[in-house]
């Protein structure tokens, strides 16, 4: 199996100590987000590869050589200020960390996510073009792959519309982003693709590719995997992965995030975190139903 660490929270940024404890102990427990009494136990001996998704790779850099599994990184780097991303480190620190990460794991195992893009009176089309160009310039030689996506209508987005102040896209906006971003990426020898988008911008030079495709998973592990069933029908054909994260536990508090929607619950969950527990949040209870997840 392939672990996703994580689409539900930023484990790398806030829970790297816990993850490394689980890796050293050889297993991790994960509550079913829809049926919390059901707990899956995953043994790392059954894990074929790990996809780390983060806005801040700094906390885990010192531990990467210890992980004896094929790994990929998706690092999200967006040009928003603290009113949108309250607790994300400065862009300069993340750029430096991405360069260090590239040297550690190889740029062929590293994707940068410029994700999500939204327009407002502050974050205009011109602003994004300049920010994207500067990002690619700074990462030239360290990064080969860029993923782009657009803002979706999540509960947290609706709650924060007064902060985001979103201006709707028009067709000319998509055309300009597609054309200019593709040109910038080519200039810096980077591929560019959309993620999970109906509008894949392929007509402007974007690749039609999945974030973790069957071919990439096979190249990484030598094994074949089915598509991720939960995402079928949503323009996603990534391979099946197992997410070990928990919703409402990320302290970045990004105003556009799909995985956070209740800040009171985030604070409560973080108090329940124990780096020595087998679970990311809380601990096992006597009435939990524990089952080993097989390959």
pLDDT of residue 162: 95
Average pLDDT on 117-144 reads: 98
Average pLDDT on 122-148 reads: 98
Task: Supply 293's token pair.
Answer: 């997840």
- For residue 233, pLDDT over 70 is answered with no
Residue 235's pLDDT band (boundaries 50, 70, 90)? low
- For residue 92, pLDDT over 80 is answered with yes
Instruction: Please tell me whether the overall predicted TM-score, pTM, comes out greater than 0.85 for this model.
Output: yes
Q: Into how many domains does the chain fold?
A: 1
pLDDT of residue 256: 96
Q: Between vectors from CA 30 to CA 29 and to CA 32, what angle results, nearest 5°?
A: 145
Please, what is the average pLDDT of the chain?
94
How confident is the model over 193-224, as pLDDT tens digits? 998 788 889 999 999 888 888 889 999 999 99
235/150 Cα distance (integer angstroms): 14
How confident is the model over 25-50, as pLDDT tens digits? 999 999 999 999 999 999 999 999 99
- Structural domain boundaries enclosing 109: 2-292
pLDDT of residue 180: 97
Please give the share of the chain, as a percent, with pLDDT higher than 90.
87
Residue 282's pLDDT band (boundaries 50, 70, 90)? very high
101/20 Cα distance (integer angstroms): 17
- For residue 232, pLDDT over 60 is answered with no
118/124 Cα distance (integer angstroms): 8
Residue 294's pLDDT band (boundaries 50, 70, 90)? confident
Helix or strand holding residue 115 (H, E): strand 110-117
149/147 Cα distance (integer angstroms): 7
Average pLDDT on 128-142 reads: 98
Average pLDDT on 37-65 reads: 98
Q: Say how many C-beta atoms besides its own lie within 10 A of residue 250's C-beta.
A: 25
242/239 Cα distance (integer angstroms): 10
């Amino acid at each position: 199996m392939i672990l996703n660490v994580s689409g539900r929270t930023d484990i790398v940024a806030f829970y790297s100590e816990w993850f490394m404890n689980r890796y050293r102990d050889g297993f991790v427990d994960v509550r079913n987000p829809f049926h919390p009494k059901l707990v899956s136990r995953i043994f790392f001996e059954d894990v074929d590869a790990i996809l780390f998704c983060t806005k801040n790779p700094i906390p885990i850099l010192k531990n990467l050589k210890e992980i004896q599994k094929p790994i990929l990184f998706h690092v999200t780097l967006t040009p928003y200020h603290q009113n949108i991303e309250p607790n994300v480190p400065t862009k300069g620190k993340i750029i430096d960390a991405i360069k260090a990460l590239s040297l550690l794991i190889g740029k062929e195992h590293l994707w940068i996510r410029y994700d999500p893009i939204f327009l407002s009176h502050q974050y205009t089309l011109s602003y994004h073009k300049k920010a994207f160009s500067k990002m690619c310039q700074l990462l030239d030689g360290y990064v080969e792959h860029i993923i782009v996506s657009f803002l979706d209508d999540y509960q947290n987005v609706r709650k924060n519309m007064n902060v985001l102040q979103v201006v709707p896209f028009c067709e000319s906006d998509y055309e300009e982003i597609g054309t200019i971003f593709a040109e910038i990426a080519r200039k810096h020898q980077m591929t560019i693709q959309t993620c999970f988008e109906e509008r894949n911008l392929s007509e402007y030079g974007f690749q039609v590719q999945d974030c973790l495709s069957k071919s990439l998973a096979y190249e990484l592990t030598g094994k074949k995997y089915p598509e991720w069933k939960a995402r079928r029908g949503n323009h996603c054909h990534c391979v099946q992965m197992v997410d070990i994260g928990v919703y409402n536990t990320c302290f970045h508090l990004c105003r556009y995030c799909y995985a956070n929607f209740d800040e009171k619950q985030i604070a409560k969950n973080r108090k329940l975190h124990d780096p020595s527990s087998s679970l990311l949040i809380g601990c096992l209870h006597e009435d939990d139903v524990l089952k080993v997840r097989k390959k």
